Structure 1
Amino acid sequence: MNIVQWIRSILFSAQATVMLPVIGLLYAPWAMVSKRGAYAGCRAYARWVIWSAGWMINLRCEVRGTPPDMGCLVAAKHQSFLDILMIYNALPAAKFIMKSQLRYSPFLGQYAVKMQMVFVDRGKRGAAINKMLADVRAGDREPGQLVIYPQGTRSAPGTVMPYKVGTAILYEQLKQPCYPVATNAGVFWPRRGLYRRAGVAVVDFLPPISPGMGRDAFVATLEKQIEAASTKLLEETGVGHLYGPN
């Protein structure tokens, strides 16, 4: 057990928690009157966490591939809160599909509402998909990158979880390219616990899937590309053997 890394992890987590309301309050006057201010506040927090992780816990964040700057769908592997921050910071106009409970989170929820993030109730599948499509159509006037997690929730590195139909429905409806995104962030910043591992966390923007593919073929292609790239990133960490086969 690395006691020094444990201490660094606890201090890092504490300051990251404190800085959320601090930055939230600093940007609140601008965010209340402008969506641009809300985006700026969230970007400031993402950059703070990424920057402080580098020197406090020796965790460097790396973005690979080419993040899109046009209207598109982004389908990302989700392992950690860290990959959310990295993807958000890499995209110029990200709009996330989020579970409805986050609407009521202090600061995060208020900023997400101002930025017109899309909230869905995961417990009501049919209604959730219909509402998601309606909310996405309502925001179509503003170009941006719609980010969805095709597995629906965070998954630990090396675990196998099904890819849900919602991403394919959006792909059909939007008629835009879909950028798959792989990650190994969960190795360094796990879903639960305070310990943060030193190393290089990566989000990898893969080549886009062009619009027009059939639903089943799209889901199979998306899953194959994301899982293969995420497995490769897991192997790069040097501790992939601890997580089992993907």
Structure 2
Amino acid sequence: MMSILRGVLFNLYLFWITLFMGFGTIPIRLMKRQDLALSYAKLWARLVLAGFCRICSVRIEITGRENLPSGPLLIASQHQSFFDGFIWMTLVDRPDYIVKSELTRIPVVGPMLLLTGMIAIDRKAGPKALRNMMQATKAAHADNRQIIIFPEGTRTLPGERVSIQPGVIALARQADTPVVPVATDSGLFWDRNPWLKRPGILHVAIGRPLPVEQERRAFTKGLESAWDDLCTTHALPRDPVDNSVDLTNP
């Protein structure tokens, strides 16, 4: 039951902090200042994660920060929970997420995503979406920003693997920047079920930049191998974890 109680309390905190800070976005949106919008979004992310750690008794352990060189990057991260959408706002100077366009239609949050320069992709647009993503990413790298992409294209269970989407391969070929693999076990603590939050040590493992292979299969294999190595080194799940645990346990 403690997992449910933590989830309820954190969701209340998330709602009120987002509502409160939502009022602060009004002048920023009127001024149309991307720098202010990004700084404000980073503050919001820090407050959300601070509440998550305190309320849900989670400690975030980041390893491999030395593998994040300064300047433009392409960060290829596993994606297990909404946590992954917050943490990079605190780890790099000028984060730029590739997000699905549906998120830009959320009141308050959506307009701020656009103002901060996040790259919104309409996944139904087919080849046009890929071209738009490549153009936007090229411009973002020229603006010295760090691109965060979730190559699996969807949230997965801890240890689960799905096919890597072609977008990250196209971006890696285009970008003259390091491609940094990242593994995580965030899904163990921030569940798909919005009412469940579990305590413990949440890991974000940052690997060494990958060589950019021109051949698709070689790059895909290299990225998956990098994730496997990070999971092995940091004792992260390598097999799917059943999150439907006994809710009577804390």
User: Above 0.5 in TM-score?
Assistant: yes
C-alpha spacing 1:107/1:61, structure 2 compared with 1 (3 Å):
farther
Contact 1:87 1:203 in 2 (8 A): no
Q: Which whole-Å CA distance do the structure 2 matches of 1:106 and 1:37 have between them?
A: 19
Within the alignment, does 1:184 sit opposite 2:185 as a pair? yes
- Distance apart, 1:242 and its partner CA: 4.4
- Distance apart, 1:216 and its partner CA: 2.3
Counterpart in the other structure of 2:216: 215
Show the 5 A alignment for 1:89-238: 89-211=90-212, 213-230=214-231, 233=234, 235=235
Contact 1:171 1:211 in 2 (8 A): yes
Counterpart in the other structure of 1:41: 40
- Distance apart, 1:172 and its partner CA: 0.6
Q: Indicate the RMSD between aligned Cα atoms, in angstroms.
A: 2.3
Q: Which whole-Å CA distance do the structure 2 matches of 1:40 and 1:73 have between them?
A: 20
Counterpart in the other structure of 1:22: 20
Q: Helix, strand or coil for the counterpart of 1:191? A: coil
Q: Helix, strand or coil for the counterpart of 2:71? A: coil
Q: Percent identity?
A: 26
Q: Which whole-Å CA distance do the structure 1 matches of 2:173 and 2:50 have between them?
A: 37
Structure 1 unmatched runs, 5+: none
Counterpart in the other structure of 2:5: 7
TM-score normalised by length of structure 1 = 0.88
Q: Deviations over 1:28-68 (max 9, x none)?
A: 32354211111112111111121112221101222211134
C-alpha spacing 1:29/1:187, structure 2 compared with 1 (3 Å):
same
- Distance apart, 1:232 and its partner CA: 5.5
Q: Which whole-Å CA distance do the structure 1 matches of 2:240 and 2:114 have between them?
A: 40
Counterpart in the other structure of 1:85: 86
Q: Deviations over 1:139-193 (max 9, x none)?
A: 3431111111111111111222001111010011112110011100001001223
C-alpha spacing 1:32/1:184, structure 2 compared with 1 (3 Å):
farther
Counterpart in the other structure of 2:246: none
Within the alignment, does 1:62 sit opposite 2:61 as a pair? yes
C-alpha spacing 1:232/1:192, structure 2 compared with 1 (3 Å):
farther
Contact 1:69 1:145 in 2 (8 A): no
Structure 2 unmatched runs, 5+: 244-250
C-alpha spacing 1:241/1:76, structure 2 compared with 1 (3 Å):
closer
- Distance apart, 1:93 and its partner CA: 0.6
Q: Which whole-Å CA distance do the structure 2 matches of 1:213 and 1:13 have between them?
A: 44
Q: Helix, strand or coil for the counterpart of 1:123? A: helix
